[in-house]
Amino acid sequence: MDISRAITLHLPKRFEVGTGTAARLGDWVPQGARVLVIALPVTAAMVGKLGLKGSVTVFDAVQPEPKDTCLDAARAAARACRPDVIVGLGGGSVMDVAKLVAALWNSDQTLADVAGPNKVAQKGALLAQVATTAGTGSEGGIRALITSSETGMKVAVESPHLAADIAILDPELTMSVPPAITAATGVDALAHCVEAFTNINAHPLIDDYARMGIRLVGRFLQRAVEDGSDAEARAGMLLSSFYGGLCLGPVNTAAGHALAYPLGTRAGIPHGLSVALLFPNVLGFNTPARPDKTAEVLTALGLPASDDPDTVLQGTRAYCTALGINMSMQNHGATEADLPGWAAEAHAIRRLMDNNPRDMSVGDVEAIYRAAF
């Protein structure tokens, strides 16, 4: 935790936050620029709120947990319209695809060529990220995740060329998100902050972003779940998500996300929900290694501080349940026969597991799955 330790933090070049800021995008886009909007079918309906003018093409075939085949289709759409500006209009899945399309649409590099850190050669278009959910914070980061159709596992790409030129957080665009999704994606935003905060690579600079994100969840997530039209709560959660995204570049997540990935890629459980289902168990497991920081997290969420792993687990599980999340993996499609294979797969994601503050064996992973089953 030496504040003099070298660290690199990449930020969007421009940041707009607040009610009505989505309409400012059209003024930012250069006059005469060709624009490609990457979206989900549901978010494509919001294109009219962006104030875009001139040539606008919409690609709305992105699905949750996007595969490399989706990226290929989006790149083909880009090659057909030759965009000057790429707009990601959606949650993390959309924004991750938008990052890679902006970098690769006019490049010969493949996904395999750019997998890992700092392998993207260039940026082929300006990138605007407009968040429509509060969860991944992808608009603030330089990492993109795509699922391999061959292996079924996530491929991570990290590069400064994936940074947004403008990021927009307009709470009006999140007000139609249902309570269940608001809750799950909100816990995902919380987990980004907590996993960075308790990480072996934790840094005082990132700790303060994480603290702000965690406190915003404690203030606003329940309100956003209870009243989706609460603009202050929606804005607070967008900021929490953004701070979580900033934590990912220099520090990254840890075991919580590694354990969540098989739930998404193998069982089709949405990413935010996958993270939420395991968040209490992973936080409880890590408590002996980070008792003081765990106590900070609990206090920010309005829970009694404790350094007892079981008390931490039960308290945060009750917190998630109070948000309306059904906290049983089984009830979301997991089967007991899945668990040993998932445990081995999650344990092998060393780029995340090696960040965890407490060593976790394959048996530990399976035990966490079973406790959350």
- Digit-coded pLDDT (tens) for 152-184: 999 999 999 999 999 999 999 999 999 999 999
Domain presence at residue 284: yes
Domain presence at residue 294: yes
Q: Output the pLDDT for position 2.
A: 83
Q: Output the pLDDT for position 112.
A: 96
Cα separations in angstroms, 188 against 67, 74, 79, 193, 347? 20, 26, 34, 9, 20
Cβ neighbours of residue 196 closer than 8 Å, sequence gap 6 or more: 202, 206, 207, 209, 210, 244, 247, 248, 251, 252, 253
Q: Output the pLDDT for position 242.
A: 96
Domain presence at residue 354: yes
Whether 121 has a pLDDT exceeding 90, the answer reads: yes
What is the enclosing helix (H) or strand (E) of 59? strand 56-59
pLDDT-derived band at 372 (thresholds 50, 70, 90) equals very high
Q: How far apart are CA 264 and CA 181, in angstroms?
A: 15
Domain presence at residue 268: yes
Q: Output the pLDDT for position 135.
A: 94
Domain of 337 in residue numbering reads as 179-372
Cβ neighbours of residue 260 closer than 8 Å, sequence gap 6 or more: 271, 274, 275, 277, 278
Q: Identify each DSSP E strand in 91-227 by its residue range.
A: 116-117, 126-131, 143-147, 154-158, 166-169
Q: Name the domain count of the chain.
A: 2
Roughly how many angstroms between the first and final C-alpha of the chain, as a whole number?
Answer: 35
Q: What is the CATH number of the domain that holds 334?
A: 1.20.1090.10
**Which token pair is 4?**
């003099």
Cα separations in angstroms, 326 against 181, 196, 302, 321, 332? 12, 25, 20, 6, 8
Whether 237 has a pLDDT exceeding 90, the answer reads: yes
SS3 37: strand
What is the average pLDDT score of the chain? 97
Whether 1 has a pLDDT exceeding 80, the answer reads: no
pLDDT-derived band at 64 (thresholds 50, 70, 90) equals confident
Query: Residue 105 in contact with residue 124, Cβ under 8 Å?
Result: yes
Q: How far apart are CA 101 and CA 313, in angstroms?
A: 40
What is the enclosing helix (H) or strand (E) of 36? strand 35-39
Identify the domain boundary among 131, 153, 173: 173
Residues 205 and 262 in one domain: yes
Q: How far apart are CA 282 and CA 284, in angstroms?
A: 5
Residues 101 and 145 in one domain: yes
**Which token pair is 265?**
């890629």
Would strands 126-131 and 116-117 be described as parallel, antiparallel, or unpaired? Answer: unpaired
Residues 162 and 47 in one domain: yes
Residues 290 and 348 in one domain: yes
User: For the chain, how long is the longest CA-to-CA vector?
Assistant: 60
Q: Output the pLDDT for position 169.
A: 98
